[in-house]
Amino acid sequence: MSIFIDENTKVIVQGLTGGQGRFHGVRNRDYGTQIVGGVSPKKAGENVDGIPVFASCKEAVAATGATASFVVVPPAGATAAILEAAQAGITFIVCITEGIPAHDEAKCYNILKRDFPNTRLLGPNCPGIISPGKANIGITSGDIALAGGPVGIVSRSGTLTYQALHELSQQGVGQTTCVGIGGDPVPGTNFIDCLEAFEADPETKAVMMIGEIGGSEEERAAEWIKKHMTKPVVSYIAGVTAPPGRKMGHAGAIISGSSGTAQAKMAALEAAGVIVALNPTEAGEKMVAIVKAL
């Protein structure tokens, strides 16, 4: 199985008529994802490489039966696009947009939780999600993913998401689903959400979790793993050499004293029984060894 999406998921692309929306939307469609429509108020009635364009999410959902949306909209309009999708009945939204102000993210997140509890947001500022051989929503290359499982991947880092997929695929280890949750301060979906879904998925036998410095999401995940996870978890935390007190890349990646450091996160995960690697390649090697022993 896979988590969150599969070959039956029908997807609309908000921003399909833009350069990035067109490129990634068509690419996702060509991978095998059911991209059933796009949304662009000014270009309704047109099509992008055969994909029909609608004036609103409501119209797109009514015409196609879509349950998922891929938001490729600039920062100024991204949260409005997310909420429009939720209001139209979309239950899974992937937003890759980078640069949304944190207070806008927080407001959007709280509205979703309050008014649309059955809608899941992935992102913003994330590479998206791929269930190899079934569906791909976002910017991850399907060429580096290998279908068949048994490993689930969840990652805060976009680049390391791709490396994790490549490392496992090169060694013949497939993936059930790979989820890039993004590194912004207010992610719509967090580590625990994904770990819980992987724990419940019978075809996922082990999980690779990639974290990074800043915030406390990894420590919270470690607590959850210790209490609830029965499947082996391999983890790598990026940013071991980052100096305390400096903002490092992602909006959430800032270290204060000993809080948020790679060392603190690694210690918490090790205490929870997670196998912690010192670099991405080692993480791949440790996961391959686990899969061979299953």
Tens-of-pLDDT digits for all 294 residues of the chain? 899 999 999 999 999 999 999 999 999 999 999 999 999 999 999 999 999 999 999 999 999 999 999 999 999 999 999 999 999 999 999 999 999 999 999 999 999 999 999 999 999 999 999 999 999 999 999 999 999 999 999 999 889 999 999 999 999 999 999 999 998 889 999 999 999 999 999 999 999 999 998 888 999 999 999 999 999 999 999 877 666 655 555 545 554 445 578 889 999 999 999 999 999 999 999 999 999 999
- pTM to 2 decimal places: 0.94
Say what the pLDDT of residue 158 is.
Answer: 87
Q: Residue 243 gets which letter from DSSP?
A: P
Would residue 250 show up in a list of annotated catalytic residues for this protein?
yes
Q: Are residues 165 and 272 in the same domain?
A: yes
Same-domain status, 106 and 223: no
Q: Are residues 288 and 155 in the same domain?
A: yes
| Structural domain range at position 171 | 141-293
In a domain, 256, yes or no: yes
CA dihedral 4, 1, 185, 86 (to 10 degrees): 0
pLDDT of amino acid 244? 63
Side by side, the strands of the sheet bearing 275-277 are 135-138, 128-131, 174-180, 150-155, 206-212, 233-238, 275-277
Residue 284 and residue 215 share a domain: yes
- E strand or H helix at 277: strand 275-277
244 and 202 in a single domain? The answer is yes
Together in a domain, 49 and 181: no
256 in the same domain as 182: yes
Active-site residue, selected from the candidate residues 24, 166, 228, 250? 250
Residue 135, in any domain of the structure: no
Give the CB-side neighbour count of residue 109, counting CA atoms within 13 A: 17
Residues in the chain: 294
Are both 275 and 164 inside the same structural domain? yes
CB contact at 8 A, 175 and 135: no
Decide if 57 contacts 10 (C-beta within 8 A): no
Query: Helices in 88-216 by DSSP H: which ranges?
Result: 102-115, 158-170, 191-200
Enumerate the H helices of 41-74 as residue ranges: 57-64
Establish if 29 belongs to a structural domain: yes
- From residue 105, how far is each of 57, 59, 78, 84 by CA, in Å? 20, 25, 9, 15
198/268 same-domain check:
yes
CA pair distance 251, 175, nearest whole angstrom: 29
Total domains in the chain come to 2
pLDDT value, residue 241: 64
Residue 245 is assigned to a structural domain of this protein: yes
Residues 58 and 165 placed together within one structural domain of the fold: no
